[in-house]
A and B are shown apart, each in its own frame.
Chain A
Amino acid sequence: MLDATDRTGSLDPALDAARAGSESGIAELWRALNPPILRYLRVVVGESAEDVASETWLHAAREIRQFRGDATGFRVWLFRVARHRALDELRRVGRRREDPAGLDAADERVARDDPAAEALERFTTQRALGMIAGLPPDQAEAVMLRVVAGMDVAQTASVLGKRPGAVRIATMRGLRRLAAHLEAGNAGAAGNASSSAGTAKEVAE
């Protein structure tokens, strides 16, 4: 899996171009960063993700010329903006994430399907996001930022406004929980529980 630096290092010229007034620069940033933003928001706010992502980018488009830093910093800043907008949206509608049953529903589908057929489409993106969305909010956000957005612990902590240690713990717990759900859905795979716990710890670090 790519690191945040790997993913965004090539975006420095695009960021410079956007700051200099080039539309192609911000378009490139949008094409590179909107998909992970959108997926993160789908986990946090569900079906309002596109609206919140749009607000996030409108804000970014207005402020990018004043932004100082490299592409990695811009990525962290952008996710922070997205998170604040998402929390505003959640406050506005007066609820937390709307799909607490997403994880269970995904498990049911996995358990019912034919193991051979499900090998190809076992984890579509939608289903994977649904399972992550079923985690407790802090764990889901940590997993999304660490694994899906590819941020390191410090960057994730900066986005979430938490200490790095708290981010590590939330990520590890989230991954363990996901692994446990996957194993519960896999008949005959009982022996993997200890190894999945170990892998979650590795990921969290």
Chain B
Amino acid sequence: MKEIKNPDLAALLAAAAAPEPNPDERGLEAVLVAYRAAPFAGPDHAPSASPSPRRRPMPGGLLLKFAAAVMLFVAGGVTAASVGALPDPIQRIAHDYLGGVGVPAPPRASVSPSAGASASPSRSRTPSATFSAAPDASSSAAASLTASSSPSASPSPSPSAASNELVTLCRIVVQTGKGWQSQVDKAQRMILVKAAGAPPKVLPYCNGLLNGSPANGTNSTPATPSATPSPTTSKKQGGGKNGQSSGSDSSQD
């Protein structure tokens, strides 16, 4: 570029191009951060006009690790099930699904049908209630009942005992009528409410339970302590009604 002869114009352009007296380096740090975060292309990287696609080494590695963790978990679960080391409800489910490959039933197999019948309409609902804390009231009741029965391996605090407790409580409720809440403590009230689905439903639920026709309760099956149905029967009987009732409760919730 040739020199500008007009002094004013030259002065103006020189001023426009003059170096900054106090260069501000505030923006440099952000540039360095972006530079550090940018993917590195080594010196042998093929020259290209367009930016090369970013390397993504992590997703594959993460997937591999996740798959390994899942396999380890499944293998451990199967091993535990095969030696009968799982908690009773889970062991029962494992026995249902993997009994053909030698997974034993839980030690209280004789009690389990009543537990299954009293805890939930079908066994497959129990684990979902236990693990996922489903909003379904019957599942919650099943979870609480199962939890109360599972801590010890001794036969005494069995699910049927829990059902007996529920029946006892229901008798109190029925005898007391609408003022039943004053006759039970908080824990008992919780058991009743969980079994019935809601406080207003407790009385009809208990009526139905004691009369042998659980109509309004969400967890209509838990009862029948005297009945010791076989798993098949309890599923068939409870399945129809309970399927409907629990479905409606789910929709209510």
A residues apposed to B, CB below 8 Å: 1, 3, 18-21, 23, 26-27, 30-31, 34-36, 39, 50, 53-54, 57-58, 60-66, 68, 122-125, 127-129, 131-132, 143-144, 146-148, 150, 152, 175, 178-179, 182-183, 186, 189, 192, 195-196, 198-200, 202-203, 205
The answer to whether B100 has its CB under 8 Å from any CB of chain A is no
The answer to whether B51 has its CB under 8 Å from any CB of chain A is yes
| B30 touching A123, Cβ below 8 Å | no
| B2 touching A148, Cβ below 8 Å | no
In whole angstroms, what is the CA distance A202 to B6 when docked?
Answer: 11
Contact-residue size bin, chain B (C-beta under 8 Å from the other chain): 35 or more
B residues apposed to A, CB below 8 Å: 1-6, 8-20, 23, 25, 27-28, 30-32, 34-41, 43, 45, 47-49, 51-52
In whole angstroms, what is the CA distance A128 to B10 when docked?
Answer: 11
A and B contact pairs by CB, cutoff 8 A, 15 listed: A30-B27, A35-B23, A54-B27, A63-B38, A125-B18, A128-B12, A132-B12, A132-B16, A144-B16, A148-B17, A175-B4, A178-B9, A179-B6, A199-B4, A199-B5
| B15 touching A124, Cβ below 8 Å | yes
In whole angstroms, what is the CA distance A58 to B33 when docked?
Answer: 9
Contacts of B14 in A (CB 8 A): 1, 123
Contact of A58 among B3, B10, B30 (CB under 8 A): B30
Task: Knowing A132-B16, A148-B17, say if A186 contacts B23 (CB, 8 Å).
Answer: no
Closest A residue by C-beta to B19: A35
Contacts of B3 in A (CB 8 A): 1, 202
Q: Which of A21, A129, A200 has its CB near the most chain B CB atoms (within 10 A)? A: A21
Taking the closest CB of chain B, its distance from the CB of A143, in whole angstroms, is 8
| B34 touching A62, Cβ below 8 Å | yes
In whole angstroms, what is the CA distance A91 to B230 when docked?
Answer: 76
